[in-house]
Structure 1
Amino acid sequence: MRRFQTALLLITNPIRSRIPFIISAVIPYVERNLYVIIQNPNIQSSSLSLASSSEKRFDQEQQKQCIRPLLHAIYKQLTATKNPSVDILLHNVDSVIKSTNPLPLPRTCEAVFADCPSSPGLYEYCRDHFHQLDQNFELRIINEKETKEDQFIDNLSTCDNDLFSTKCTSRYNRGVLGGTFDRLHNGHKLLLTESALLCNEKIVVGVTDA
């Protein structure tokens, strides 16, 4: 099957136990950059169709609580992966995505991988909502059945992980990070992403050369 230099992964069903399968299914087909966007789970019924032209405004805290538990699961799965570079985008956390204001992507993406069922309006949704998609981008559906066991395992893993528990909901206006950012690995990406979700105004990063 065809491989792509850069692609977008759209996760609409945020169950942590499914992450290893999803990442493993996509990585072999991306050579350079994979961008991940975690949508509110309800977006599948409200936005991935042609029936409605407007989108429901989701609570900002609900979006963050949806994303935070998945950060560790995604970057943990990438520990042994050298290529491609994987980045979780947070553009949709603080604003509503509208078709008149497409969400910008860092690079042109040749493909979109989605974990939701295929629908007539899915291709148009991606084309209208994400800027920097290739004009002839390819849409691929990740097929996996959700089971009650998946939900049960996911609930257990979330409860056992205190660091990424949604109970940790303290918010800060400003934050400071320090470390040897001589190279940006997945641990740094996890730290930066989590900090971006916890701080409202500004993050200062101290960088050292040793």
Structure 2
Amino acid sequence: MAKTGLLICSNPFRVLRIVPQLQCDLLSTLYVHFFPTSISDKKNIEPRFMMIDAYKNLNYTNVDVRVLLYGLKDTLDSRIATKRPIDVIFYDDHIQTEQLNFVVSLLSNKSSNYKTVFIHPTEDTGSIDIKQNSQCNKIYENVVLGGTFDRLHKGHKILLSTAVLKCSKNLTVGVTDISMLKSKKLWELIEPCETRIKNVEEFLKDIYPTLEYNVLPIYDIYGPTVHDSTFQMIILSDETLHGGELINNKRTKNGLKPLHILPVALLKEDKISNNLYCKEEEEKISSSNYRMRLLGTLLKPIQINKNIPEFPYIVGLTGGIASGKSSISNYLKELGAFIINADILAHELYGINCPAYQLIVDSFGSNILTLDNQIDRQKLGAIVFSDQDKLNQLNQIMWPLILQKVKSIIESKKEFKIIFVEAAVLLTANWQSNFHEIWVSIIPLDEAVKRLKVRNNLNEKESFDRIKSQPSNMEYIENANVLFCTLWSFNCTHIQIKRAWNSLLTRVSKPQ
């Protein structure tokens, strides 16, 4: 199996018939180079339709597909300098032997042992459909576009490639800073701005290195568009057309010429199976969908923990209050997991004859007791969740006792290969070293408040106080090997858990 391949194709509409035959042949990257021998004037090609038709037919899931723009934008004898070395070259039946050899000669970065492979499309889809529009096909020296560009997908690649085809000199790309993105779904999983800038820049220079690229962070919807007089055209998706109108209004007020606007249609998501994806995903191809599909997967590799025995394999399950930990535990139990609930153990330790009882009464006074001398946890909670020092005092009593109880149960359950420990205090108590891996559940702050008000009969301030006393979602994610979000339907949560459970069984069954 090759790591990187190049497909030489005569027609974007033929790609659909060729690509399925390559699915098992590549590990990492597929470049596509169009050698449109039947087209005498490439300027007649409408860039939007060219890119949409090319990318929408490329349905790889784990391969980075990149359509090169040399044959579409320049003369066909331009040197082809891909960032990644080509291991295998595929070509269709419209490419003659001399044309194949000619393209191969233009490749400046190919493996020493590269090979060529002939691919016959399953059906001849005919010649390219040239769409002409004199206004749309005009080329501009200075083009601009903007976006989040989180985990570059086909939609991003269409926008960027269309911009390259429309530009003759300078292309500016604004990448939204994280400060603008906190209303987005699972924003905590959005890649850092510097990573997204680097990925956009690398993609552009890979598909067409000739232009001058300026990829920069933006902190509002306008970026440099409202004060740079050199910009002539802006590329937008259909859903952001209103933003283009706002930009032009501001440019007019600032004495600048309005930008020509070129909208690009959104691509619909091609979902293979309802069993794999949540119904709550967007219909369009989007970074939000990609982030949702990270839930239940291994976000960071497992580090070998020499502090604990290899078996039983101990997984810590944690997350903020009302984040759905118990619902996750319950479903894991249905799947066959053995669960230790540290929170329940903590409640038991409050009993009159238990180790924590007298220590808590001595620390917080008899006013926290009920008429039958039981600890009133609601009274105790009102004290500690409004005073950080008091909370720390209680934690110093409870945490060592809870962990000691958890370890004693694990010791008595060695017949189980995998044991889950549900513990809300896992991170704050610094228990990470007691687990082979850590699973985390998160929900947005506003949803946590809403759940607490209903579940615990708390007011808004009380809910915020309890949430703020715990780690933030970002802190939880930083410690997570596997992440869940219970914001959506039970079915969506179950999909995440089954994904994680099956992956865990595979990991544990592999020899270390």
| Fold conserved between structures, TM > 0.5 | yes
Aligned with 1:195 (options 163, 166, 169): 163
Q: Please say if residues 118 and 141 of structure 1, whose CA atoms lie closer than 8 Å, have aligned partners that are also in contact.
A: no
State the one-letter code of the partner of 2:121: E
User: For residues 66 and 142 of structure 1, what CA distance do their matches in structure 2 show?
Assistant: 27
Deviations 1:140-191 (A, max 9, x none): 11113765xx349x75xx7xxxxxx432313322121111123211111000
User: For residues 143 and 67 of structure 1, what CA distance do their matches in structure 2 show?
Assistant: 26
CA shift for structure 1 position 71: 1.7
* Other-structure match for 1:7: 5
- Given the superposition, is the C-alpha separation of residues 124 and 66 from structure 1 closer, same or farther in structure 2, using an over 3 Å criterion? farther
* Other-structure match for 1:89: 68
Runs of 4+ in 1 over 6 A off after TM superposition: none
State the one-letter code of the partner of 1:87: R
- Describe the SS at the equivalent of 2:24: helix
State the one-letter code of the partner of 1:204: T
User: For residues 37 and 114 of structure 1, what CA distance do their matches in structure 2 show?
Assistant: 10
CA shift for structure 1 position 92: 3.5
User: For residues 11 and 97 of structure 1, what CA distance do their matches in structure 2 show?
Assistant: 13
- Given the superposition, is the C-alpha separation of residues 19 and 127 from structure 1 closer, same or farther in structure 2, using an over 3 Å criterion? closer
Q: Please say if residues 115 and 142 of structure 1, whose CA atoms lie closer than 8 Å, have aligned partners that are also in contact.
A: yes
* Other-structure match for 2:356: none
User: For residues 173 and 12 of structure 2, what CA distance do their matches in structure 1 show?
Assistant: 31
* Other-structure match for 2:32: 36
User: For residues 125 and 76 of structure 1, what CA distance do their matches in structure 2 show?
Assistant: 28
Identity %: 27
Unmatched runs of 5 consecutive residues or more in structure 2 = 182-512
Would you tell me which structure has more helix in proportion to its own residues?
2
Count, aligned residues: 176
Greater C-alpha Rg: 2
Deviations 1:14-69 (A, max 9, x none): 152x22111212232111011111112249xxxxxxxxxxxxxx64515xx18753
Equivalent runs, 1:111-122 vs 2, <5 Å:
111-116=88-93, 121=98
Deviations 1:56-110 (A, max 9, x none): xx64515xx187533212321335x321100011134443344xx7421221111
Larger relative CO (CA 8 A, sep 6+): 1 or 2? Answer: 1
- Describe the SS at the equivalent of 2:83: strand
- Given the superposition, is the C-alpha separation of residues 141 and 185 from structure 1 closer, same or farther in structure 2, using an over 3 Å criterion? same
User: For residues 40 and 183 of structure 1, what CA distance do their matches in structure 2 show?
Assistant: 30
State the one-letter code of the partner of 1:73: D
User: For residues 67 and 4 of structure 1, what CA distance do their matches in structure 2 show?
Assistant: 30
- Describe the SS at the equivalent of 1:104: coil
Would you tell me which structure has more strand in proportion to its own residues?
1
State the one-letter code of the partner of 1:175: V
* Other-structure match for 1:207: 175
- Given the superposition, is the C-alpha separation of residues 195 and 90 from structure 1 closer, same or farther in structure 2, using an over 3 Å criterion? same
Root-mean-square deviation (Å): 2.9
- Given the superposition, is the C-alpha separation of residues 143 and 121 from structure 1 closer, same or farther in structure 2, using an over 3 Å criterion? same
Would you say 1:136 and 2:113 are equivalent positions?
A: yes
User: For residues 127 and 11 of structure 1, what CA distance do their matches in structure 2 show?
Assistant: 13
Q: Please say if residues 69 and 166 of structure 1, whose CA atoms lie closer than 8 Å, have aligned partners that are also in contact.
A: no
State the one-letter code of the partner of 2:90: F
- Given the superposition, is the C-alpha separation of residues 94 and 118 from structure 1 closer, same or farther in structure 2, using an over 3 Å criterion? closer
Aligned with 1:166 (options 132, 136, 145): 132
User: For residues 53 and 74 of structure 2, what CA distance do their matches in structure 1 show?
Assistant: 24
Aligned with 2:55 (options 72, 75, 93): 75
Equivalent runs, 1:139-154 vs 2, <5 Å:
139-144=116-121, 147=124, 150-151=125-126
- Describe the SS at the equivalent of 1:204: strand
User: For residues 77 and 108 of structure 1, what CA distance do their matches in structure 2 show?
Assistant: 24
TM-score (normalised: structure 2): 0.31
- Given the superposition, is the C-alpha separation of residues 151 and 114 from structure 1 closer, same or farther in structure 2, using an over 3 Å criterion? closer
- Given the superposition, is the C-alpha separation of residues 127 and 8 from structure 1 closer, same or farther in structure 2, using an over 3 Å criterion? same
Q: Please say if residues 172 and 198 of structure 1, whose CA atoms lie closer than 8 Å, have aligned partners that are also in contact.
A: yes
- Given the superposition, is the C-alpha separation of residues 174 and 139 from structure 1 closer, same or farther in structure 2, using an over 3 Å criterion? same
- Describe the SS at the equivalent of 1:105: coil
TM-score (normalised: structure 1): 0.70
Q: Please say if residues 7 and 30 of structure 1, whose CA atoms lie closer than 8 Å, have aligned partners that are also in contact.
A: yes
- Given the superposition, is the C-alpha separation of residues 114 and 151 from structure 1 closer, same or farther in structure 2, using an over 3 Å criterion? closer
